[in-house]
Chain A
Amino acid sequence: MISEKICILRTDLVPILRVKYDKDSFKDLFDTYYNPLCNFCYRFVENHTDAEDVVQDVFTSFWQKQDRIKIETDVKYYLFTSVRNKAIEYIRSKKRKMNLEDEMGRRSESSYTEEFMEENLIKELISNSVRQLPPKCRQIFVMSKVNGLTYVEIADQLNLSTKTIENQMRRAFQILRKTLKVR
């Protein structure tokens, strides 16, 4: 049996089954990975516009060179690796100060890619679910976990008690676990 999990991510399966992406499945692939790839790329290029440019380039050339690309492992791993390589190339071509040479060396290791690929994909899944939280609950969650405010600061700003913030946060995590189907 093929589990539900695999069916959801069927856009990943295209290369495994040795078929080509058509326009629709390529759009799926794009929609699934664009945002986490941009966030991943931002770590390298440290500029949102550049991050988007690099990721868009990777998708464009992926589509154009589909016939010639052999995906050895997994399409998302391929995409993250391509973005990493292109980002490094991009930085070098911009001849930015390379006093971060050591840091870049570390970042170009594949374990770095694996680690942050997973992290970014999880963040993406959670962010998508956060959008489905009830408005007030979402606002509090974002203030806390995205903007980094303390419960006291949030309570102050929203004119609510700290207790309410705590309750809303607990509720947020309950809903997230439910939508993400995890315990």
Chain B
Amino acid sequence: MGSSVSPDDVRFTADLEVGVDLALGRLGSRALAQLVDLALLFVVAFGVIPISAALVPAAIGARSVTLFMVLMILLEFGVFLGYFVLWELLWDGQTPGKRLLGLRVVHSDGTRLTLTACLVRNLLRPVDFLPFGYGIGLLVLVVTDRSQRLGDLAAGTVVVREARATDANAPRRWPERIRAGDAAMIEAFFAEAPTLLPERRERLAGEIMAFVRRDYPGFLADDAPGRSAWDTVREAFRPTAEG
């Protein structure tokens, strides 16, 4: 499973002994997800808590001030570790940052994150954070072949990238006996098409049109004057209606 050959980095053995390949969350997306989470934490730790610590005691009686201070101390303590533990339990392996980046924590056999594993990976977070800014975590993450930090290794978890909606687009019309490689190439073209410049898209559509005419004669409509290659190709491989 060389990462340069296939986009699939980790294989789980699912039911009936069938392997399921999934892409791992790599350094970039995980770092971004972490930044989002830390930003949220920052708002809570340096915004919400101090502001309420300043405002609330004035509003309540002196007797409850002690209780309030105790709550604040416990909150300050629990917020860094508790944030990750609670979100990952509540959202089944996702934090707000991970959800935004399409990442999810699962056991390395593909099953759902359990309480113990969640505690192990998150209570080791401070060690991964050493000496600062996830130094140790980053080092371990780049040298392990499944992109795990220390906490992941200890908990037996991996962070995977979930398929996006665009990966599962509607089934389309196909020529009889199309080769898998050709189908994959045409699917990749349609997935990329919305991001291409019109002239480039038109040139690629022209190349596809020529090759489909050669290999699968009779599938494409005949040339009509003034009709673009993109329209011809799009029409031929149009999504099939439900059914």
Our verdict on whether A and B bind, yes or no, reads no
